[in-house]
Structure 1
């Protein structure tokens, strides 16, 4: 059942009615307005909409529950109350009596649109930054083409060693908060900087066993790194056509593809869940990456090193970080659809994976087929991209 129907049902069950005007007028100042449309500057050619969210701009309730009021005041009449994690379409942010409120849109029992207000202290805002996503793709394209035009070789980092037992993980971090684990140790004027695995870069020069590289995501240039950390597989094409862009702050993503006329188009977008620091996990790394491999199924282990469950359609982008479908523990398989719905409902809210980027299964299946272009080896769990697919995380 769609969220809008659930909201309408919740209002109907409570037998609540909406009043057109608050009892007391409240003075408020408009701080921001939110448009529920994709900007005209972003070219759109949607190829998959199975996992499209209902709203492009929304707030989700982060308290146990929260009231929607007729106006932006705690003294205004309560219209309805919603539980934790409910997503509500947001229209505006206003300030009233030095407090911030969000104007949200609901539907009454007859399906009519009704507006109300919710305190900003009880919710978190999420929105799609399509223009910024689009700009990131163009920025990477320009960097690779510019470096290639100067005669510099394009490569990526390859330092990942699988560690399924999660043993001896290095938590040392550089000034950017990037950990040593799974990444390449580089230096700049004697300072250690860690370059995330599968980061894209160009080679500035070579000296013995050292390579001096330029990366788009790190300001210091060139960085000195061991030759052993460099890979030429997959071969980097400056004229790549496919990119997956992840917004960590808003827990969502946009998929871009260059058309036959050389124009980048948004072909899909959806909500996701990203990594957080934990006993077994890391934050999802920021940067510009290239996809080296995919898996039909990706197993994972618990804190006791026991096989715990499986996630479908895993696309590796950095270290042990994959974009994959909703993970299901083995004991959850007996009621798989229920647990899929429960877990998918948390997408687009807060981080919570071990490093990976979680998608709904319907969307990750689309991505898997898009990355492989249908060219797969049915006898193998591991697959290779049909062409360069870049992953941008910001």
Structure 2
């Protein structure tokens, strides 16, 4: 049983059976305290939950020699098969995972899929059979089959960077492993997705692999499939259309907005995670696709 230690001093100790967190900020703007207030609400960084998630990730990587990520951004690997039972507007499974950009999960290859997996999810790869891959999704119970085209294998060795998004407390933490110690690099306010269909979606819970990045992510006017309403700077994608990004800029404005007082308040985006634009730039430059994990907790 591994022990868990948080070290907020200038020094760190290394023990073979301990998880050590050391606060050594690289990005120092807008830093929140461990416990703080939003209006009359007490908020915090859930270090114990973060530690447990790190333990789970380390155990997962130890258990599954082959790991990967689910991939179907904008249905690039094919419109997933329809479930036998599903919800509509938009079409989704009972867990809220949408068919669009989803990954079909089968318990038996001769039947319809049972549910969908989130694009970007971290998985363990168990075996291949007749064009299908058997996987274990880190954040979903059970083992599942899915067509091989939806799974990308990644290196199990290179993952040494973690991002935690806390939906309950509306904050973000970045960490990097160095000589067995998890260094806390930043502790900042964030704003997650609003659960208000059909245009707004909550930021999904689970463990995701950073997929790709773009310096400027255009977003559409609500209800439109083509009209650009503005852009968000320094966008780092983790699931479907879900990005960590800076403050949205509504056209015709073109200058980047550094900060918004709504950060750290209540969910209000369309699945994405808003940050101060300079912190979004920090994440954009620091996080490497396919060797950085992002965990969304409640």
Q: What range is the shorter-chain TM-score in?
A: 0.7 to 0.9
Question: More deviation in 176-185 or 209-218?
Answer: 176-185
Q: Which residue, out of 140, 145, 157, partners 2:57?
A: 140
Q: Give the structure 1 partner of residue 123 of structure 2.
A: 201
Once residues 287 and 151 of structure 2 are traced to their aligned partners in structure 1, the CA distance between those partners, rounded to angstroms, is: 23
Distance 2:266 2:177 in 1: 31
Partners of 2:291 and 2:204 in 1: how far apart?
A: 20
Counterpart selection for 1:268 from 177, 186, 194: 186
User: How many matched pairs?
Assistant: 265
Shift of 1:347: 1.1
Unaligned runs of 5+ in 1: 1-36, 61-122, 164-168, 373-384
1:195 offset after TM fit, Å? 0.8
Query: Whose Rg is larger?
Result: 1
Is 1:225 paired with 2:146? yes
* Residue among 50, 64, 74 paired with 2:29: 50
Deviation at 1:356, TM superposition (A): 0.7
Q: 1:179 to 1:369 in 2, by over 3 A?
A: same
Query: How large is the RMSD of aligned CA atoms in angstroms?
Result: 2.6
**C-alpha distance in 2 between matches for 1:49 and 1:173:** 40
Match of 2:70? 157
Q: Does 1:127 align with 2:47?
A: no
Contact 1:137 1:392 in 2 (8 A): no
Whether contact under 8 Å (1:273, 1:348) holds in the other structure is yes
Q: Distance in 1 between matches of 2:295 and 2:268?
A: 19
| Aligned positions of 1:1-394 closer than 5 A | 42-53=21-32, 56-60=35-39, 123-148=40-65, 153-161=66-74, 171-188=90-107, 192-220=114-142, 222-232=143-153, 235-259=154-178, 261-276=179-194, 277-303=196-222, 304=224, 305-333=226-254, 340-341=258-259, 344-371=260-287, 385=289, 388-394=291-297
Per-residue deviation at 1:199? 0.7
Decide whether aligned partners of structure 1 residues 162 and 173 sit closer, same or farther in structure 2, where only a CA change above 3 A counts.
closer
Q: Against the structure 1 CA distance between its residues 257 and 55, is the aligned structure 2 distance closer, same or farther, given a 3 Å change threshold?
A: closer
Q: Distance in 1 between matches of 2:157 and 2:62?
A: 5
Partner Cα distance (1:227, 1:200) in 2: 15
Structure 1 pair 136–247 and aligned structure 2 pair: CA distance change class (3 A): same
Q: Which residue number in structure 1 is paired with residue 14 of structure 2?
A: none
Residue by residue over 1:78-122, the C-alpha shift from the partner in whole angstroms, topping out at 9 and shown as x without a partner, is xxxxxxxxxxxxxxxxxxxxxxxxxxxxxxxxxxxxxxxxxxxxx
Contact 2:139 2:207 survives alignment (8 Å): yes
Alignment check: 8 A CA contact 2:23 2:184 kept: yes
| Kept in 1: contact 2:90–2:198 (CA 8 A) | no
CA contact (8 A) 1:199 1:318 kept: yes
Change beyond 3 A, Cα 1:172–1:162: closer
Quick one: distance in 2 between partners of 1:39 and 1:47? 14
8 Å Cα contact 1:39-1:130 kept in structure 2: no
Instruction: Sort the Cα spacing of 1:138 and 1:265 in 2 relative to 1 into closer, same or farther, 3 A.
Output: farther
Cα distance in 2, alignment partners of residues 248 and 38 from structure 1: 24
Query: Given the superposition, is the C-alpha separation of residues 135 and 390 from structure 1 closer, same or farther in structure 2, using an over 3 Å criterion?
Result: same
Select the structure with the greater relative contact order (CA < 8 A; seq sep ≥ 6). Answer: 2
Indicate the SS of the match to 2:55.
Answer: helix
Q: TM-score, normalised by structure 1?
A: 0.62
Q: Shift of residue 350 of structure 1?
A: 0.8
The structure with the greater share of residues assigned to helix is 1
1:50 and 1:157 map into 2 onto residues whose CA distance is 34
Give the Cα–Cα distance (whole angstroms) in 2 for the partners of residues 226 and 202 of structure 1. Answer: 15
Deviation for aligned residue 1:170: 6.3
Consecutive unaligned residues of structure 2, counting only runs of 5 or more, are 1-5, 10-19, 77-87
